Amino acid sequence: MRRQFPWIFILFIYAKIISMQTLVAKGTVVDYILCGRFVVTMDRDLTLIENGAVAVRDGIIVDIGPEEVIAKNYSGQKLGNSHKLIMPGLINTHTHAAMVYFRGLADDLPLKEWLEKHIWPAEARWLSPDFVRDASELACLELIKAGVTAFNDMYFFSDETAEVAKTFGMRATIGLGILDFPTPGGKNPDDYLKKAEDFIVRWKDSNLIKPAVAPHAIYTCSQNTLLRAMDLARKYRIPVHIHLSETEWEVKEAIKNYNKRPVEYLHSIGFLDSSVVAAHCVWLDNNEIDLMAQKGVYVSHCPESNLKLASGIAPVSEMLKKGVKVTFGTDGAASNNDLDVLSEVSLAARLHKAASSDPTVLDAKTALKGATLWAAEAIGLGGITGSIEKGKRADIIICDLDKPHLTPLYDIYSHIVYAMKSSDVETVMIDGRIVMNERTLKTVDEKEVLKKAEHWSSKIK
């Protein structure tokens, strides 16, 4: 045995050398190489790479560059081709996922009547952990199909939504709705806040779920409730999600009750800071916009819901001019009636040109920032997603550009905002995992999700 040892050792070293030479020839091994005609990174410099590629390993973006360079330096499973677009996943910054089961239940009504006479009674009758779990499955299915890789949710039975999002492989920021009056989700402010903190503690270390605090609105939460909610958010350093200035009625109520407009009221009690995601923000005056800009408040603009409920048109051009970062939400599917963020972006980019009589307002690049980079920042995920950059998690979508409505192609940003449809999204990667490929979900049984939805709808109607 001693005589053979040197030969065995030499053979071992030789095999290692051959192996290392092969590795160098093939390049560093990664899990995936995503290739496309365009890589739209949506980083702060809006870096655009034509005929580019992205290397992904262990859920992390390890390199980005021209396809020929990435192909030389890395080896791995290749996805995409010269007819594809590679871009960050879209982010929905305001929704109530489980309300998807109330889609179309009560349409063509003003917000107050829609809520008080239809939605709240339906919730009182049907809301339960089972309802929220099954409805959240349908919502996650719809979101992924629309190229959404993360969403910001406010509703009840938050553990159910979180578990579903995790099962689907989705990223989500989730807050339990907090109010002053009883609902199926809680009895009183003490009960809501305790449940909210319990949820935070359970999920604060999750890699996909980020807890938030979600006081519903200034007209459903007292000053004490709002401040306790903010204290909770600051304790755990997490986002705050609130409805704000959605209707003219809300503004009139604030003036009557506090002698201040809604944003002024929140500022006066020390509620506003950069952790706040304010949904809607339709009825703002110039002073309120200044306050929001000073405090770094993020806005979740929901144009389809605002138009459908005749709530009004948010002053987006004024917000952008003053430095407020405007992101996009769908609201719940009960008032929209879908969860398609790309549709919101496209509508908003057109709507505010007409509203301001200025065709340069909300250009395509700015609009797309609101659905990616700024959206990730708004919901506390800016360090890990929202753009394609080295070191960030791989939340990426691949879209097919080989379509009549995307031909010819002169400006990719213009195409994404004004011509592309959510159905053009073919592949969705979240945290480096393929959750949809060629329009088919890989993490769940789509037919079972739709079957559950039909079962619930037959009971509700």
Predicted pLDDT of residue 113: 87
Residues 98, 217, single domain; the answer is yes
Within 8 A by CB and 6+ apart from 68, the residues are 51
Q: Is residue 28 a contact partner of residue 53, using CB atoms and an 8 Å limit?
A: no
Residues 281, 363, single domain; the answer is yes
Residues 37, 100, single domain; the answer is no
Please tell me whether the peptide bond between 51 and the residue prior to it is cis, using omega within 30 degrees of 0. no
The whole model's pTM is what? 0.93
Q: What is the pLDDT of residues 221-255, one digit of tens each?
A: 999 999 999 999 999 999 999 999 999 999 999 99
Helix (H, G, I), strand (E, B), or coil: what is residue 261?
A: coil
Task: Quote the distance between the C-alpha of residue 371 and its chain's center.
Answer: 8
Distance CA 460, CA 458 (A): 6
429 falls within a domain:
yes
Residues 432, 343, single domain; the answer is no
Residues 232, 315, single domain; the answer is yes
pLDDT at 15 over 80: no
Instruction: Give the bridge partners for 54, in sequence order.
Output: 34, 64
Q: What is the pLDDT of residues 34-46, one digit of tens each?
A: 999 999 999 999 9
Residues 152, 294, single domain; the answer is yes
Q: What is the pLDDT of residues 259-317, one digit of tens each?
A: 999 999 999 999 999 999 999 999 999 999 999 999 999 999 999 999 999 999 999 99
Q: What is the pLDDT of residues 193-222, one digit of tens each?
A: 999 999 999 999 999 999 999 999 999 999
pLDDT confidence bin for 13, thresholds 50/70/90 = low
User: What CATH number is given to the structural domain containing 54?
Assistant: 2.30.40.10
Mean pLDDT of the chain: 94
Helix (H, G, I), strand (E, B), or coil: what is residue 349?
A: helix
* Mean pLDDT along residues 406-421: 98
Predicted pLDDT of residue 26: 57
Predicted pLDDT of residue 20: 41
Q: Is residue 102 a contact partner of residue 108, using CB atoms and an 8 Å limit?
A: no
Task: Calculate the alpha carbon distances from 418 to 218, 307, 331, 339, 376 in Å.
Answer: 36, 19, 21, 18, 22
- Total number of domains constituting the chain: 2
Instruction: Find the helix packing angle between 158-168 and 129-145, rounded to 10°.
Output: 40
Residues 411, 318, single domain; the answer is no
Exposure string over 164-199, b if 16+ CB within 10 A, otherwise e: bbbebbbbbbbbbbbbbeebebbeebeebbebbbeb
* Mean pLDDT along residues 324-350: 97
Residues 239, 220, single domain; the answer is yes
Domain that holds residue 134: 90-378
pLDDT confidence bin for 109, thresholds 50/70/90 = confident
Residues 35, 46, single domain; the answer is yes
